[in-house]
Structure 1
């Protein structure tokens, strides 16, 4: 695995996650361009990872295929690790994902992460269209094992896929008589429950906890992960990451307005009205019922919003409580400009290095 020391003065590694935010009034192309620009900034400002999440049928997101975006970003960045946070494995064939991420690892050796989740990343009807009605969640652990088998070309003798090989990958390297050291991405298990934590521990894989989803119990999940951790050939001891919703600005009121746009998108999703990022003025003008106001306030307050100093204080309190190794800022309000400014402010706060832009992104 690829875990170095934290940069700057932060007590944890800092990373960024985007879903390709596309607010109302923006085209998909503009949303994706904003994601590319955000990745360039994260790379230049010394962040450790840049991940994208898989979502379907949501008007506020444009990254339905993280692997496609990672392919683009390998040419737009030079240092930062790139990956999926995550690929919703029950939506896909494990062999196909092994091939795609084998290609990405060949394009950017030592820089690719593959985070695996089991949620569909959408509503029930779209999930049925993706999964053709299969109850795929129940088979998630077996899918993960199958994927790992393809990635490592390590199916046991007698396995039905023993002679099926993911290309690019270790088998191709062996056949072509070249080193196989940089053919496999780092595999993470993602989740927001003890179920995923236990699986990550049993597999000896790093675990990423999504704190942006509801009232998820991070303390129990991390305890379960650490208690069940079994050292593997890729990881000797538990390694954890937590992702948190973030909106950072020089103006704390503007940061809160940005956080409220994401909260409104969640409310709309609960009401089956579609996940959209409305402009802040439209969100402020919305006449919410008492119950709706409770939901909006809960999700706004759950976000780590405010100035860089305010957000950093909350991040450090979370780190002190949980002992996580990495923190990932989940950005994606209505303003892509504020997202970029926000991660720059946090980088400045923690004195992350300001690196030269790669030639490909100049």
Structure 2
């Protein structure tokens, strides 16, 4: 079991600048390393305030130069939006620049406006990713790419990098992609969202069905889950974090619309049917004192049995100092409890 700090890198309000978001992310990654996090992730999104990180590989390279131990990577490279021959080379470069600390997440993507702006067929994203994955594996494992497919035609092309395939993670994906993940030992990633552990079991079941179809026969599939957390004793900060989390959930759902509701790049907060109240989030979400957050996350671990837990806390809109203080509490007061609980479970 390992623990990661996830960085979506949103603009939480109109007064926040991309430079401030990037500076906070860099500081948080350095702090996460000092606190003992195993890894850190950077998202890829385009053209809205949901994320200012258009290139998670660039962010990983930047933060690699400022850290020594923590593993870094994209969660995820939206592979259909990139020519895979370029991704092969950039991943190879990043694996060298990080000193072998690269984790690689790939995914199909799902936001219609991104595909439209890039001129990529959203309906073909699974088959495009499948071909891109072929090219990525071939280039990293052999140092040569030659491919004749529906979407890519590549003559025999040498790649000037050592042959090395970093640990691979897959976000979402069809049953066929999950079966392929099983065959190569990749870890499926699912977002728990605002769900309590039991409500997330169907997400795990779908991932597990595809993974076992690929030949996996062990007790637990490798599984990464993403959780939204904020550790603070202050009731006012707890409420602001819960309000920010609801705003994030609304934006995440709205980004599945053909045309996202936005003013310029800023996403509008559009309520959705069945959304939780702020009071429900204050009671049930891992927002609040360390003891409460540790209890909820430990329950998630018991129910979902993940091998990887990605924790995101950049949704509150609170000032930089308060966010970094909450991260300090998460690393100092929550992670040790979760690691002890895992150790006891393994020993029993």
TM-score clears 0.5: yes
Q: Which runs of 5+ in 2 are unaligned?
A: 337-348
1:331 has 2:319 as partner: no
Deviation at 1:193, TM superposition (A): 7.1
Q: Which of the numbers 132, 141, 155 marks the counterpart of 1:152? A: 141
Q: Which of the numbers 244, 249, 259 marks the counterpart of 1:261? A: 244
Q: Distance in 1 between matches of 2:184 and 2:286?
A: 31
Deviation at 1:73, TM superposition (A): 0.5
Moved more, 28-37 or 57-66: 57-66
Deviation at 1:202, TM superposition (A): 3.6
Deviation at 1:300, TM superposition (A): 4.2
Deviation at 1:43, TM superposition (A): 0.8
Q: Which residue of structure 2 aligns with residue 167 of structure 1?
A: 160
Residues 83 and 293 from structure 1, CA distance in 2 versus in 1: closer, same or farther, beyond 3 angstroms?
A: same
Q: Which of the numbers 204, 221, 244 marks the counterpart of 2:227? A: 244
Q: Which of the numbers 19, 37, 62 marks the counterpart of 1:29? A: 19
Q: Distance in 2 between matches of 1:133 and 1:225?
A: 24
Moved more, 109-118 or 330-339: 330-339
Q: Which runs of 5+ in 1 are unaligned?
A: 1-11, 171-182, 353-362
Deviation at 1:62, TM superposition (A): 1.2
Asked if the contact 1:246–1:305 (Cα under 8 Å) also holds between the matched residues in 2, the reply is: yes
Deviation at 1:50, TM superposition (A): 0.4
Q: Distance in 1 between matches of 2:50 and 2:291?
A: 28
Q: Distance in 2 between matches of 1:306 and 1:46?
A: 21
Deviation at 1:252, TM superposition (A): 4.8
Report the 3-state secondary structure (helix = DSSP H, G, I; strand = E; otherwise coil) of the residue aligned with 1:83.
Answer: strand
TM-score (norm 2): 0.78
Deviation at 1:227, TM superposition (A): 2.0
Report the 3-state secondary structure (helix = DSSP H, G, I; strand = E; otherwise coil) of the residue aligned with 2:247.
Answer: helix
Q: Distance in 1 between matches of 2:118 and 2:180?
A: 24
Q: Which residue of structure 1 aligns with residue 344 of structure 2?
A: none
Q: Which residue of structure 2 aligns with residue 316 of structure 1?
A: 298
1:295 has 2:278 as partner: no
Residues 57 and 195 from structure 1, CA distance in 2 versus in 1: closer, same or farther, beyond 3 angstroms?
A: farther
Q: Distance in 2 between matches of 1:208 and 1:230?
A: 18
Q: Distance in 2 between matches of 1:350 and 1:245?
A: 14
Q: Distance in 2 between matches of 1:28 and 1:118?
A: 25
Per-residue CA shift, 1:5-64, capped at 9, x if unaligned? xxxxxxx32211011232221111011101101101111111001001101112142111
Per-residue CA shift, 1:263-319, capped at 9, x if unaligned? 2244356384238589xxxx9xxxx9xx65842528947743222211111111111
- 5 Å-filtered alignment, 1:108-119, equals 108-119=98-109
Asked if the contact 1:193–1:221 (Cα under 8 Å) also holds between the matched residues in 2, the reply is: no
Q: Distance in 1 between matches of 2:297 and 2:238?
A: 16
Residues 332 and 155 from structure 1, CA distance in 2 versus in 1: closer, same or farther, beyond 3 angstroms?
A: same
Q: Which has the higher contact order (CA 8 A, sep 6+)?
A: 1
* Number of residue equivalences: 314
Q: Which residue of structure 2 aligns with residue 20 of structure 1?
A: 9
Moved more, 245-254 or 215-224: 215-224
